Structure 1
Amino acid sequence: MGGDLQIESTLGQGSHFWFDLHLPEIPHWVEQHEAQQKVITGYQGPPRHLLVVDDHWENRAIIRDLCFEVTEAQHGQEGLEQIRARRPDLVITDLVMPVMDGFELIRQVRNSLDFQELPILVFSASVLEEEVPKAGYQAFLSKPFQADQLLELLRVHLGLTWNYETSSPAPIVSIAPIPTTEKLPEILVGPSPEQAAILNRLAMMGDISGVVEAVTNFHQDNPQLEGFTQHLNSLAKEYEMNKMEDLIKQFL
């Protein structure tokens, strides 16, 4: 295998050991745990009602596709009215909004005896977690965030049991052999740099439905994008945001 073992020692302080290994490159690495990841199709039990308080909510497609009932509010005042009127099971709120911000919304909700136990998830692109008072919310997410982060928080704070897509024993047939992501541009006909920039922006926002809609439009204009479109759509269906971004960035 080869390599070097080195040591530094200081009297009265201790010793520092480290080593370097020369390992062969593995050109066709396959991440088995990701390949075996199950696809969430919904959850058990009655429909859960979510209130999203945000004037720029990009991830609505994620929760709507999983059979959540979703009510949206543009700012904290509207969100407070919806909480009182509809009594949601969980609230997802931004912090920086017009009229009433998320800080005041949380304060007023927690001051109400009827909603002191209401789960609240906080997310923000402009406020750091350490700047948010610890009392009043269950979890904090920094924008942009991955779909699986949001889904895990929903599972924990709503006590959900997910339903998963049942897989058939038949082997998966790929449209074209894709040994590594590095070879994708040589195998697939991809979007133009301008189209890839649009897809990349939508993916960075977490707008999965926007990515699917955009690539479908590009495919209609250029039938040669068939393989790329199907591959990207399959990643979108499984909420594989990192893989979607990696694929798109190769065509920028």
Structure 2
Amino acid sequence: MNAYDEGSDARHGPDAPAEPPPPADPRSGVAALPLRYQVVVAVALAVVAIGVCVHLGMMFLHVAPPNTVTKEHGRAVDDWVYPEFEQNWKLFAPNPLQQNISIQVRAQVRTTDGMTLTTGWYDLSAEDGRAIDGNLLPSHTQQNELRRAWDFFVATHDGENRPVGLRGSLSESYLRRIAVLRLDRDDAVRATTGGGGAVERVQVRSRTSNVPPPEWSREKVSTTPSYRELPWWKVPRDEAAGGVR
């Protein structure tokens, strides 16, 4: 045994000092926070998880076939879903819509000298179509606001345009407000009066026409449009203020 081996044995003998353990890895993420903040994060995550589970459960009940839960709590499910999270299957329907429906509006305007004039019909659906055409990222408002307002009205009114249930008056107010805002945006008051004035009443109608069949089809359908005119609605003062010039 040489001197080097003897020194090596002395360093690793029973009396040699123990080597210090490697340093522990520093904590990261939530574990690095103080205890009280860890509790806050855990509670927040639990609340989010519960909210997600409730939302997914409501959406499942909404699209699921009628069952015991929906019969008992259907109103609560509808209140949760409508209108922000509505689901439908029209894209996959075996019999998709085969009609073009456009919404039009006209107004009675009170001029500054006290006269009452009636505007022509403004095709609001055509305006939305022109705004969407060529737009790679059309807004939700351009695509759906007017269409959903009309669907809402039809679903809450009978064939005589009489409201069915409490949501009928709400749908009328919603559709009327959209019409007044669109007329104001199109400057219908100035175009009709040549000056100032305010919208007093509006009338909405729908124009429905069948989509022509393809050339190879032998199906024959009438393309003559049909109209559904609603009664004149008086515009409240707070809404008419949007049309004042």
Q: Which band: TM-score by shorter chain? A: under 0.3
- TM (norm. structure 1) is 0.19
The structure richer in helix per residue is 2
- TM (norm. structure 2) is 0.19
Computing the radius of gyration from Cα coordinates, the structure with the larger value is: 2
